[in-house]
């Protein structure tokens, strides 16, 4: 399942799951480039980097032109905001769609044609269990994540005979800054301690803990490899059994 001599670009690669993926693919032999908007984080990642705003088509086009042909695209950039569905304003709705759905679409549309030309490629979205179930107070985020899984499935069918695959990895709550922000929100709104807030966050996970970024990276590494050639259009769930319970 080697990725040696393959070039991988990871959006949102400066921290969290994206950085864990970068380290794993580099360990497995890939040439890794990380991309994102926060140059300070990208610089400290230790990887070659490119500035990219996935919501801006010109930024995406310029970044991929700078990177050159890509073999593995990990669309990891994402954001989460919470509000009751009927109190979600249009700005929040559009921002969640832009970052979590349109960003993946723009990156795919820009990078995949080069993969088709070479007859080999991997498009992998780091989605969420919110691609497969609903969560209260996350209407915009959940809608975007459901949408990105639909994009993956459609691409998988269209690309099936090209040597390029499209898949998603769907983590549950993971040890990232994004989830740390969710813990802070729970603590502020409920008055719970950090331990109590964490317990509430993982209550649906039979393992009773957060997923680790490296566990998500392992799933991405599998999908990136040559041995995953027949794995296409799938949502690989990494959630400790939440969706099975």
Task: Specify the CATH number for the domain of residue 75.
Answer: 3.40.50.720
- What is the H or E stretch that residue 122 is in? strand 121-126
Do residue 32 and residue 63 come from a single domain? yes
pLDDT for the residue 52: 98
Do residue 165 and residue 191 come from a single domain? no
User: Across the chain, what does the average pLDDT equal?
Assistant: 94
Catalytic, 141? Answer: yes
Is residue 79 situated within a structural domain?
A: yes
pLDDT at 197 over 90: no
- How would residue 176 be classed by pLDDT, with cut points 50, 70 and 90? confident
Please give the tally of structural domains in the chain: 2
pLDDT at 221 over 70: yes
Is residue 50 situated within a structural domain?
A: yes
Structural Rg of the chain based on CA atoms? 17
Do residue 29 and residue 105 come from a single domain? yes
Which residue range forms the structural domain that includes residue 23? 7-173+211-239
Average pLDDT of span 65-93? 96
Helix, strand, coil percentages for the chain (3-state, nearest 5): 50, 15, 35
pLDDT at 80 over 80: yes
In the set 49, 137, 141, 222, the catalytic residue is 141
pLDDT for the residue 186: 67
Do residue 106 and residue 180 come from a single domain? no
Do residue 150 and residue 192 come from a single domain? no
Smallest CA-to-CA distance from 166 within 111, 121, 232 is with 232
Is residue 195 situated within a structural domain?
A: yes
Rounded CA separation 125/122 (Å):
10
pLDDT for the residue 179: 66
pLDDT for the residue 182: 67
Q: Which residues lie closer than 8 Å to 124 by C-beta, 6 or more apart?
A: 72, 73, 74, 75, 166, 167, 168, 169, 220, 223, 224
pLDDT for the residue 2: 78
Average pLDDT of span 137-160? 98
- Block residue for tokens 């269990």: 129
pLDDT at 3 over 70: yes
């Amino acid at each position: 399942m080697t990725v040696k001599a393959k070039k991988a670009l990871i959006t949102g690669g400066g921290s969290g799951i994206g950085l864990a993926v970068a380290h794993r693919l580099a360990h497995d032999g890939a040439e890794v480039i990380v991309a994102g908007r926060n140059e300070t984080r990208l610089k400290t990642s230790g990887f070659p980097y490119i500035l990219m705003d996935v919501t801006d088509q010109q930024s995406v086009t310029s970044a991929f032109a700078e990177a050159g042909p890509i073999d593995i695209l990990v669309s990891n950039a994402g954001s989460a905001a919470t509000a009751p569905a009927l109190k979600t304003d249009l700005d929040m709705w559009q921002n969640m769609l832009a970052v979590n759905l349109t960003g993946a679409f723009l990156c795919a549309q820009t990078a995949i044609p080069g993969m088709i030309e070479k007859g080999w490629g991997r498009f992998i979205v780091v989605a969420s269990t919110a691609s497969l179930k609903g969560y209260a107070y996350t209407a915009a985020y959940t809608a975007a994540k459901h949408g990105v899984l639909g994009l993956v499935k459609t691409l998988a069918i269209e690309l099936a005979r090209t040597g390029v695959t499209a898949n998603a990895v769907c983590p549950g709550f993971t040890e990232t800054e994004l989830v740390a922000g969710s813990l802070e929100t729970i603590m502020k709104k409920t008055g719970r301690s950090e331990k109590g807030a964490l317990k509430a966050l993982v209550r649906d996970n039979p393992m009773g803990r957060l997923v680790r970024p490296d566990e998500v990276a392992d799933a991405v590494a599998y999908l990136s490899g040559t041995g995953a050639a027949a794995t296409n259009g799938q949502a690989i769930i990494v959630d400790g059994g939440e969706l099975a319970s």
